[in-house]
Structures are given as structure tokens and as C-alpha cells.
Homo-oligomer: A and B are copies of this chain.
Amino acid sequence: MADRGLDCYIIPASDPHQSEYIPACWQFRSWISGFTGSAGTIVVTADKAGLWTDSRYFLQAEKQLKGSGIELMKLKIPHTPEHVTWITTSLPSNATVGIDDRFFSIGMVQYIRDILEESGQHLVTEADILGQVWIDRPEMPSNPVFEHDLKFAGVTRKDKLSSVIGMMKEIKADYHLITTLDDIAWLLNLRSSDISFCPVFISYCLVSLDQTHLFINPDKISGTIAASLANDRVVIHPYESISGYLENLTAGYTIFYAPEKVNHALIQSIPAGVKQKHGMNITTGLKAIKNPIEIEGLKRVMMKDGAAWVKTIHWIKKQLASGKQVSEWSAAGKIAEFRSANPGYQGESFHPISSFGWHGAVVHYSVTEEESLDFKTEGIYLLDSGGHYSDGTTDTTRTITLSTPDSQQKTDFTLALKGTLGVSMLRFPKGTKGFQMDIMARKALWDNGLNYGHGTGHGVGFWLSVHEGPQTIGTSASGYLNISLEPGMVTTVEPGLYREGFHGVRTENMTLVVEDMENEFGTFYRFETLTLVPIDRHLIDKDLLTREETDWINHYHQRVYNCLADLLTPEETSWLKEATQPL
């Protein structure tokens, strides 16, 4: 920092592709601090270093930062850049602040620069310091790329490229720069294993009107795939050559990209004469609408994944009944084991939240072998877990009682469940957005002076990111405001309730938007629930349900039984029969 004339250096937890899960080679923040939480930024000055993170990570950060000399700075509002405000108030007004702008979106750089300049401070954006001091830094992952079979993808790479190019012509763009890894994997019908829980490969993609440029380590591409790509007019370039390629774009052309996704460094390569247009990645909009083959695959996946769930719950109950130990860790392992027996299984779609008792109230609790609690019979158990399959991805949460629940547990569970039902049973007109319907998940809780602090639902990728935009169901309308829920979109519905120190409850299903009816008042849609896992009847207080809600659950359980019975052992089937009896 002194060599570079920097008074301050910001180290974020991000990569050049704005990935949710970050490959080891770019985990600068974890490397320098030991802190492994998903959210948190470090600021280093000549005599001080601090980590800004939110309340989910206070305990973990205190433990992991011990002895590092880095101070825990508690964020008042999660996901806000309070560290930038700290810099403006703690450093002199002529201070120079450094970042490595490959790890910041162009929107974020502008935001930081504005705040600093308001205080007379100065931002240096090309400060690659950590790359030089991190000696034993892991290599960039170079796992092989493989084809996502058309029988699961449903649409060829060629047709996807045609759709993108058609939309580029509509918005008068000559190039579409795509830097988000799931968008590239979706577009090219390719998968790999560069990142945990997300079957993508590190690359950039530049679609032009006559060919597509894929910037990737060429060693990852087999001859067969290279030939197939060439046949679809996809040209391979070395990963690092993207900047040079952009530098040589001809003036007068227009390049289109998503400013909240593209890193600042990359954009500096674009010559001044090239016109830049901003908007959501075209691929993001297209991939959100699952095609009929994908929907068919997903429905198949829900049966085998549901069976793994039933086997797991049955196993837990049986173990405990026979006096054997079950822990958060072993239960999470067990569902992965059952899933792995399913055809097409490709691994977990995220790190499971397997939480017993008071751990259930730690909303983003991430189970580890060390912290794993053993089950006791008086508690309730919350499992949020999902799998990737070649024919689709799942994300399900169930809350399970291990004995007779008390009335508080039943009330809490049922009120949150009414939220899951409130969204699932909704009929809504074309054009309805997620922020409009979020309240249906919270109404029963609000009526009772309760609430939860996370979103209600997120899109789910198809053997891609388990959190996939653009649609969400939540209280916030930030992001792309005109994203409405359209037929073919897959979204989770996952209201919950958390009592610190006691328990957490949540029922999460994946749903598909389908057409419902059309009349002179417009076109109406509804949700079809995809997930097929029984909801614990013992936790339901039927007195809190309306007739329609009870009917919905009974009908749902009937469907769960019919879909799963054939995939289970006789013992499991008879357990499921009992578990899906009408309320």
C-alpha cells in the first residue's frame, strides 16, 4: 500500500463474475482474515484493519478473526457499504483509497467514488495488491467442460444464440457482453465444476451478430466440444484475452451489458468510440422461463428428490425410535446419500441448513461437523436442502417435530405455513410482480405481531445457480422493476419464523407459474407447487387454518403419496401413508 501511495485498501468478497459462490483463487478476503462467511468486506489502513459484516456472522467472525488483528465492525444494515462511510469519517480528506476493480461492478465503483469524492478523497481502481502478496494462492480451477444434454436442456445452443441475437437486433446492439457464469453455461448448454454447488466454468462471453466469442482456458474444452462449438459459430479465445479483444472493438458499434454484473476493470478496455448500452442480460430473461422439456424434467426430479426426503425423514424417526443418535451433520449427510442413489444426481445445490432446536433460529446457519448438534426428542428440526440433477435442481425446506410439539411450536409453524399457502393458492393477473405478492406470505404472521427478516422466494436455475434471478418474491422492489412473474418461471416460496434461542420453522416449496384463466378482466396466472415432500401434520394447528387451506394441504398430501409411493420401500410407503393422511 505504501509503495502504491494508498492510505486505505478495500477487500471485498467477490470475483470478476459476481458469483454467489467464489472459487478459492479469488477468496482474498477469507485468505487475509480467516473469516469464511459469505458476506463481509475488509478495509485496511496503515494502522488498522476492520471486517464489516452483518448480524448473521457476528459470532463466527469473532471466533475466526481472533488473533488476526482485524477488528469486527458490526453492520447496522446488512448489505450496505457502511465501510465506505467509515473511510470518509476516519481518514483525512485527501486520503487515497485503493481497490482492485476486477472485483467490483461498475455500478459499485461509481457509488464508492461518489461518496469518497464528496469528502475530497480519491479512489485508485487498479490496485492489484493481494495477487502479489498471496504466495501459495490456488490456481484458477480448470475442470473440464461437458455438454448439457439436449434431452434435458430442451433447446439447442444454436437456437438459444438465435434468440439472443434476435433480441440484440431489436435493441440495436452489435455485441452482448455476458460475464455471469450461469448465463454463459445456460446459453452454451455447457456445464463444468469450477465452483462449489454451481456447475459452471470460469469464462467470459461476447455474442456478436455473426459469431460468439467464448473466453476460457482452452484446456477445459475437449476436441469434440470445440468442434461442436465451432459448428455453432462459437469461437474459443484464452480467458485472459477478453480485455485485449474489447480494446480492439471498432468505433461506432454498440455493446450491451448488465452494469450491475460486469466488473469495472473490463469496461475500461472498451474504446471510447464504442457505444455502451445498459440493461439486464438477455440470457437472464430467457433462462428464467423454463421450457417444456425443462419443466418435464423438473417434475421428474421432484419425484426422485421427494423420495430421498421421505427416506431421510423416515430414517431419522426410525433411528431415534430405536435409541440411536442422529445429528444435524449426519442427517444432512443422509439426505445427500439418498439423493446420490437417484439417476442423474450431480451433487448438492447448496450447503444444507440442517438445524436442530435453537440452531433453527440462526437463519443462515451452515452446518459443520464441529458445530453439529445431536437431536433430542423434545425439539424440532429444520432442514433446508437441495440437489442438482441433469434434469433439474431442487431447493426444499421442511420442519419436523421429533416428539409431541408444544402449542407455541404448533402456532409458529402453522402461521408460517399459512404464508406458504397464501402465496401458493394465489390467482394473480399477468404483470404481477414478486413485491406485490410477498405480503401473502406474511399476512398471518403480521396479524399476530410476527415477521421474518429474509426474502419470501427466489428463482431457481436448471442445474445451475440455486438462486437465480431476475424474479424474486420479497418486500423490496429494487433491481429490475418491471420483472413480473410469467408462465414457466420457477420460484421458491419460503416464509418462516425464528425465535432466537428457541427454534426456527419454515416450509419451502418450489412453484411453477402456469396460466389459469382469461376473461374481459385480463389473463390470470397461478402457481403449481412442484415440490413433493410431506408437511409435518403434527406441527399443524388445524384451528388456525381456513377450510380452503386444509383442503389444499389434504389435496397436496394425496398427490405427494401418489407420486412417491412407488419409489419407496414398503416400510417407507406405509410411513408416508400415515404422514399424508387428511387433517
**Chain B residue, CB-CB nearest to A436:** B439
Contact indicator A427/B440 (Cβ below 8 Å): no
Q: Is A9 on the interface with B (CB-CB < 8 A)?
A: no
Contact indicator A451/B429 (Cβ below 8 Å): yes
Contact indicator A447/B429 (Cβ below 8 Å): no
Contact indicator B519/A449 (Cβ below 8 Å): yes
Contact indicator B433/A436 (Cβ below 8 Å): no
Contact indicator B475/A436 (Cβ below 8 Å): yes
* Bound complex: CA A433 to CA B477 (Å): 10
Interface size on A, residues (CB 8 A): 32
For residues 151 through 179 of chain A, which have their beta carbon under 8 Å from a beta carbon of chain B? Answer: 172
* Bound complex: CA A109 to CA B475 (Å): 32
Q: Is A350 on the interface with B (CB-CB < 8 A)?
A: no
Contact indicator B521/A450 (Cβ below 8 Å): yes
Q: Is A358 on the interface with B (CB-CB < 8 A)?
A: no
Contact indicator A449/B517 (Cβ below 8 Å): yes
Q: Is A101 on the interface with B (CB-CB < 8 A)?
A: no
* Bound complex: CA A443 to CA B450 (Å): 22
A390-416 vs B, Cβ < 8 Å mask (1 yes, 0 no): 000000000000000000000000000
Q: Which residues of chain B come closer than 8 Å to A446, judged between CB atoms?
A: 426-429, 524
Q: Is A486 on the interface with B (CB-CB < 8 A)?
A: no
Q: Is A438 on the interface with B (CB-CB < 8 A)?
A: yes
**Quick one: which of B428, B438, B519, B520 contacts A436, CB cutoff 8 A?**
B438
For residues 499 through 521 of chain A, which have their beta carbon under 8 Å from a beta carbon of chain B? Answer: 500, 517, 519-521
* Bound complex: CA A83 to CA B118 (Å): 40
A315-349 vs B, Cβ < 8 Å mask (1 yes, 0 no): 00000000000000000000000000000000000
Q: Is A481 on the interface with B (CB-CB < 8 A)?
A: yes
* Bound complex: CA A428 to CA B449 (Å): 8
Q: Is A69 on the interface with B (CB-CB < 8 A)?
A: no
* Bound complex: CA A449 to CA B522 (Å): 8
| A478–chain B nearest beta-carbon distance, Å | 7
Contact indicator B481/A451 (Cβ below 8 Å): no
Q: Which residues of chain B come closer than 8 Å to A520, judged between CB atoms?
A: 500
Q: Which residues of chain B come closer than 8 Å to A477, judged between CB atoms?
A: 433, 435, 477, 481
* Bound complex: CA A30 to CA B440 (Å): 45
| A573–chain B nearest beta-carbon distance, Å | 36
Q: Is A563 on the interface with B (CB-CB < 8 A)?
A: no
Q: Is A437 on the interface with B (CB-CB < 8 A)?
A: yes
* Bound complex: CA A7 to CA B477 (Å): 41
Contact indicator B475/A478 (Cβ below 8 Å): no
- Decide yes or no: A522 and B451 within 8 Å by CB, A435-B477, A436-B475 being known contacts: yes
**Quick one: which of B426, B436, B449 contacts A435, CB cutoff 8 A?**
B436
Contact indicator B481/A449 (Cβ below 8 Å): no
* Bound complex: CA A475 to CA B477 (Å): 11
| A54–chain B nearest beta-carbon distance, Å | 17
Question: Chain B CB within 10 Å — which of A172, A432, A449, A451 has the most?
Answer: A449
**Chain B residue, CB-CB nearest to A519:** B449
| A545–chain B nearest beta-carbon distance, Å | 14
Contact indicator A437/B435 (Cβ below 8 Å): no
Q: Which residues of chain B come closer than 8 Å to A427, judged between CB atoms?
A: 446-447, 449
* Bound complex: CA A435 to CA B439 (Å): 10
* Bound complex: CA A249 to CA B436 (Å): 45
* Bound complex: CA A528 to CA B521 (Å): 31
Q: Which residues of chain B come closer than 8 Å to A449, judged between CB atoms?
A: 427, 517, 519, 521, 524
Q: Which residues of chain B come closer than 8 Å to A431, judged between CB atoms?
A: 475
* Bound complex: CA A521 to CA B447 (Å): 12
Q: Which residues of chain B come closer than 8 Å to A519, judged between CB atoms?
A: 449
Q: Which residues of chain B come closer than 8 Å to A436, judged between CB atoms?
A: 435-436, 438-439, 475
* Bound complex: CA A524 to CA B475 (Å): 15
* Bound complex: CA A263 to CA B437 (Å): 36
| A440–chain B nearest beta-carbon distance, Å | 7
* Bound complex: CA A15 to CA B1 (Å): 56
**Chain B residue, CB-CB nearest to A499:** B520
* Bound complex: CA A436 to CA B434 (Å): 9
20 of the cross-chain contacts (CB-CB < 8 Å) are: A426-B446, A427-B446, A427-B447, A428-B446, A429-B451, A433-B475, A435-B435, A435-B436, A436-B436, A436-B438, A436-B439, A437-B439, A439-B439, A439-B440, A446-B524, A449-B524, A450-B521, A451-B521, A477-B481, A500-B520
Q: Top 3 closest A-B pairs, CB basis?
A: A477-B477, A451-B521, A427-B446
Other A-B pairs, 10, CB within 8 Å; known A426-B443, A436-B439, A439-B439: A429-B446, A429-B451, A431-B475, A432-B475, A433-B477, A435-B436, A436-B475, A437-B439, A449-B519, A451-B522
